[in-house]
Structure 1
Amino acid sequence: MPPESTLPECQLFGTLGCHLCEVAEGVLMHFVEHGLLVELVDIAEDEQLSETYGLRIPVLRRNDTGEELDWPFDNPDRVASFLR
């Protein structure tokens, strides 16, 4: 995992009642415990986000680069690589 000082801020796009979104939150919790800042964004509250991410959630997005990681990212190594 990258050092805490280099972890980017991210957004996790999902919605309530999405089982995979809950799994994604669980995967990311390890990284949050090591300094990752993740904003949970409910796509149901925004029509444009619903159109963009509705069939893709959960999606992890880096705020610094705009790069997105689509599910599945249940392998922590895949998330760590994305955060580098």
Structure 2
Amino acid sequence: MIRLTIYTTQGCHLCDELEAQVAALTRQPIEWLRVEVSDDDALLASYGERIPVLADDEGKELESGHKLERLSDWLYKRGWLDEAALEALTDSVEGAPPKGAHQISGRRFLG
């Protein structure tokens, strides 16, 4: 089982994204410790502008973990990365058009 701490705050969409990516890329049971930074002035000062921050059970932190390249490298170094899951995830992202994209007379529009 993987034990991870995520420094977060209520309504953090990047935190939700990060948790989902970790679950998809590890395919292992994860025990999450969610630390609400807004409840403590020291945590807020330290993590408030950096969330989400992910930490392993040794306290080694990952900032900007919602960026796939940084997250996959961090997981790989710990032996937790499911490389087939990463390949499947990157294949589905690379060729996909942006959501809501459409073309009119050869011009691409979003929305």
TM-score tier by shorter-chain length is: 0.7 to 0.9
Deviation at 1:46, TM superposition (A): 1.3
Partner of 1:57: 51
Q: Deviations over 1:8-51 (max 9, x none)?
A: x2100111122211211211222575122221111111111111
RMSD: 2.2
Moved over 6 A (4+): none
Q: CA distance change for structure 1 residues 61 and 71 in 2, over 3 Å: closer, same or farther?
A: same
Instruction: Indicate the larger mover: 41-50 or 31-40.
Output: 31-40
Q: Deviations over 1:61-81 (max 9, x none)?
A: 112x21100013432522422
Higher relative CO (Cα under 8 Å, sequence separation at least 6) belongs to 1
Partner of 2:61: 68
The one-letter code of the counterpart of 1:80 is: L
Point out the structure with max Rg over C-alpha.
Answer: 2
TM-score calculated relative to the size of structure 2: 0.57
TM-score calculated relative to the size of structure 1: 0.72
Identity over aligned residues, as a percent?
26
For 1:77 and 1:62, locate their aligned partners in 2 and report how far apart those are by CA, in whole Å: 14
Q: How many residues align?
A: 77
Partner of 2:6: 12
1:21 corresponds to which of 15, 21, 40: 15
